[in-house]
């Protein structure tokens, strides 16, 4: 087995290697236990992962992104994606990476999405704004009324630097001030993203938002629109950390034991199409990282499908899906329910892992 299939339980590993699955995966068994089925709902969100290049190398990055990664969408692919957006007019165009702004086609996607009438999201790591070539971002994003969704896993400096790298917190605060000056957090939507620093579930999202709002305002004068809390899925660097710390089984059990059936209806794979830098379609960014393409035999590209032709295709799952259904649930838009069963972890101020 290679590194990817090592991370999967037998059913998913088998689908990756093309063998007949031997048994249902742990996530599917949970669905069965509750008499639930995971099916697509109406298509709304096109999430474009433009590539793996990033100016940071965070500990828990599920994309394994970094400055030396070369995989980025090329011009012909970007144009085909743009034509699809204009034809099918998704409600939301969500641009991610890596650092999506490093793509030569970032502005093309923003402007094409807006032209198609979509709500456009930039998943921004904040530090990119502090690099000289990208200092134009706050004004540009504000000018196109793009929602900025920015990672800030804690309001305390040491915790952010432990997860995202030395100096990241100070740069993030400087960038947030620039976004504020452009109207973000007041006139324009600024969403901050929390993810746990260790192998536990996020605390209550609303309570955490209140803490963030109070602390960021009193310490730095920063205001923002909302906070979303995302569970770390056991993939890529976070999976490696779990294995190195001997916490793999414990974390998987935590996710499975915290399964919340009320989250299934809101899972993002139900209304989202995610595409990779070559334009191939996935159910979500996590499945993309596991190379779980929609069609096992040969990749489906965005220009091969329409929202209607996708409607009956099954969603591909693995044990990692338990990260989306644990506790209050987790998606690119944060928690899926107000609260859920199962233990949540320490507050954001708790020292990281490791």
What's phi and psi for 193, nearest 5 deg?
Answer: -115, 125
**Least distance CB 78 / ligand SF4 (angstroms):** 19
Question: Minimal distance in Å, beta carbon 63 to ligand SF4?
Answer: 5
- Choose, by CB under 6 A, the member of 31, 146, 242, 321 that binds ligand SF4: 321
Q: What is the DSSP string of 168-200?
A: HHHHHHHHHHHHHHTTBTTTB-EEEEE--SSSS
Helix (H, G, I), strand (E, B) or coil at 310: helix
Question: Per CB under 6 A, which region of 14-22, 79-87, 204-212, 266-274 contacts ligand SF4?
Answer: 266-274
Enter the tokens of residue 308.
Answer: 């209607």
Cα distance between residue 179 and residue 281, in whole Å: 32
| Residue 324 binds ligand SF4 (CB under 6 A) | yes
Residue count, binding to ligand SF4 (CB under 6 A): 23
Short-list 32, 21, 25, 20, CA closest to 9: 25
> In 10 A of CB 209, how many CB atoms?
19
Quote the least distance from Cβ 99 to ligand SF4, whole Å: 6
For position 30 contacting ligand SF4 by CB under 6 A, the verdict is no
N-terminal to C-terminal alpha carbon distance within the chain? 28
108-144 core/surface letters (b: 16 or more CB in 10 A; e: else) = ebbebbeebebbbbbbbbbbbbbeeebeebbebbbee
Question: Which of 172, 271, 317, 344 touches ligand SF4 (CB under 6 A)?
Answer: 317
Contact letters for ligand SF4, residues 117-136 (x by CB under 6 A): --------x-----------
The only residue of 243, 261, 315, 350 in contact with ligand SF4, by rule CB under 6 A:
315
Closest approach, Cβ 286 to ligand SF4, in A, equals 4
Per CB under 6 A, residues contacting ligand SF4 are 54, 56-58, 61, 63, 65, 97-99, 125, 267-269, 283-284, 286-287, 315, 317, 320-321, 324
């Amino acid at each position: 087995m290679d590194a990817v299939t090592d991370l999967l339980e037998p059913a998913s590993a088998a689908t990756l290697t093309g063998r007949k699955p031997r048994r249902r995966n742990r996530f599917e068994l949970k669905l069965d236990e509750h008499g639930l089925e995971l099916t697509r709902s109406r298509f709304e969100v096109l999430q474009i992962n433009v590539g793996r290049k990033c100016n940071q190398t965070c500990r828990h990055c599920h994309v394994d992104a970094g400055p030396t990664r070369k995989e980025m969408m090329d011009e012909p692919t970007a144009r085909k994606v743009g034509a699809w957006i204009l034809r099918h007019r998704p409600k939301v165009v969500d641009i991610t990476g890596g650092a999506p702004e490093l793509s030569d086609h970032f502005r093309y996607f923003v402007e094409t999405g807006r032209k198609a009438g979509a709500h456009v999201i930039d998943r921004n790591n904040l530090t990119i704004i502090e690099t000289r070539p990208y200092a134009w971002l706050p004004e540009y994003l504000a000018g196109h009324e793009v929602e900025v969704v920015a990672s800030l896993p804690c309001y305390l400096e040491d915790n952010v630097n432990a997860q995202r790298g030395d100096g990241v917190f100070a740069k993030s605060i400087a960038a947030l001030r620039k976004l504020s000056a452009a109207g973000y957090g007041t006139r324009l939507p600024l969403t901050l993203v929390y993810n746990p620093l260790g192998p536990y579930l996020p605390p209550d999202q609303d309570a955490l938002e209140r803490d963030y709002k109070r602390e960021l305002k009193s310490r730095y004068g920063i205001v923002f629109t909302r906070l979303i809390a995302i569970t770390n899925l056991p993939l890529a660097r976070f999976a490696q950390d779990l294995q190195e710390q001997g916490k793999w089984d414990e974390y998987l059990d935590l996710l499975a034991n915290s399964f919340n059936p009320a989250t299934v209806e809101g899972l993002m794979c139900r209304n989202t199409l995610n595409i990779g830098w070559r334009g191939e379609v996935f159910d979500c960014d996590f499945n993309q990282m596991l190379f779980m393409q929609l069609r096992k035999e040969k990749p489906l590209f965005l220009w091969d499908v329409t929202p209607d032709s996708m409607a009956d295709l099954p969603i591909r799952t693995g044990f990692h899906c338990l990260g989306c259904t644990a506790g209050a649930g987790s998606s690119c838009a944060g928690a899926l329910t107000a609260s859920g069963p199962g233990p949540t972890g320490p507050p954001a101020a708790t020292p990281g892992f490791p």
